[in-house]
Structure 1
Amino acid sequence: MKQQQWRKLSGQRITIPIEDEVRQVLMREHEAGNAMRVFIGTDSQVKGRVIEFATVIVFLRKNKGGFMYITNEQVKRGMPIKQRMLEEVARSIEVAYSFCDLFTAFNVAMEVHVDINTNPNFKSNDALKEAMGYIMGMGFAFKAKPHAFASSSCANKVVQ
């Protein structure tokens, strides 16, 4: 995975590689006896010719709340909405793929969430079939709007 600057929701920067941070979290939560699930999603916002992407890794403890890690990146080029939706999916898959062995080792279920509307009246829906095929073809569980809270709510709130 390319080097990205990750942070917690509080704004605290992660100073070690995110892979090491996630491994430490999984070990700590496992030792505490917490059942975990992980949800990965990306959202984007267009500001003129700049697109801001936010990708999140959301950890939920069964009946004990959750927390997340965030990375943002700006891209200075325009792109059609379908391409932007598929770029969001690609970013989420890159993160999911980099952690799959770790999540499997700790028996942690993971889902990839996409900010694509299942209603065909929305423009983002044009990318739904390709996104679903891409994610499921990689072997990941998949959720789209309105059930994709990692991308539609969590990432949406931190895209600047």
Structure 2
Amino acid sequence: MTWKKFSGEIIHSPLIVEIERAIIQETEKGYHLKVCIGTDSQVKGPITNVATVIVLLREHHGGFMYIHQEKTSMRMTIKERMLLEVQKSIETAYSICDLLDLYNVDLEVHADINTNPMFKSNKALNEAMGYILSMGFIFKAKPEAFASSTCADKMVH
């Protein structure tokens, strides 16, 4: 899996090594960190573009993110696509959660799913929430899910 910085710079070391380096560096500067992970997707004809982001928030001092982008030609309903997004976020969260526990960094998994039943994405809300919570992660949906609905949304093309 290729991860890169917002600048486009590719991360050549394993993701866990890069995240640990960032945590140490930011903590030494005196920042308290929180990590938010989210995924968004966009259908363009037969292709679905998917972007997963890991946002490291410095309390009251902005933040920065790592991005993974991929494409799939798999045909999906909106509900399947929402649950694919959640699965990508959970896989990413699971891959770094032990490291975050070690450094006492809070983690949230954000789902680009609307809590308003008027929206199509709402069909996947209960399953997504159950999936994330059952894995032991803190869950945020729209409008609080900025990692997926704002950050990942900007990276999906």
1:151 aligns with 2:145: no
Residues 30, 106 of structure 1: 8 Å contact kept: no
Q: Any gaps of 5 or more consecutive residues in structure 1?
A: none
Percent of matched pairs sharing the same residue: 58
1:53 aligns with 2:50: yes
The aligned counterpart of 1:27 is: 24
**Cα displacement string for residues 21-71 of structure 1 (whole angstroms, at most 9, x for unaligned residues):** 001111111222210001000000001111110000001111221000000
Which structure 1 residue ranges, 4+ long, deviate > 6 Å from structure 2?
Answer: none
**What number of residue pairs does the alignment pair up?**
157
User: One-letter code of the match for 2:34?
Assistant: R
> Once the 2 structures are TM-superposed, how far is the Cα of residue 120 of structure 1 from its aligned partner?
0.5
User: One-letter code of the match for 1:82?
Assistant: K
Distance in 1 separating the partners of 2:97 and 2:55: 14
1:67 equivalent among 60, 64, 67: 64
User: One-letter code of the match for 1:33?
Assistant: G
2:104 equivalent among 73, 87, 107: 107
Distance in 2 separating the partners of 1:17 and 1:105: 17
Distance in 2 separating the partners of 1:18 and 1:107: 18
The aligned counterpart of 1:88 is: 85
1:40 aligns with 2:37: yes
- Correspondence list, 1:135-150, <5 A: 135-150=132-147
CA RMSD of aligned residues (A): 0.7
Output the TM-score relative to the length of structure 1: 0.96
Q: Any gaps of 5 or more consecutive residues in structure 2?
A: none
Distance in 1 separating the partners of 2:123 and 2:59: 35
Secondary structure of 2:97's counterpart equals helix
> Once the 2 structures are TM-superposed, how far is the Cα of residue 88 of structure 1 from its aligned partner?
0.2
The aligned counterpart of 1:78 is: 75
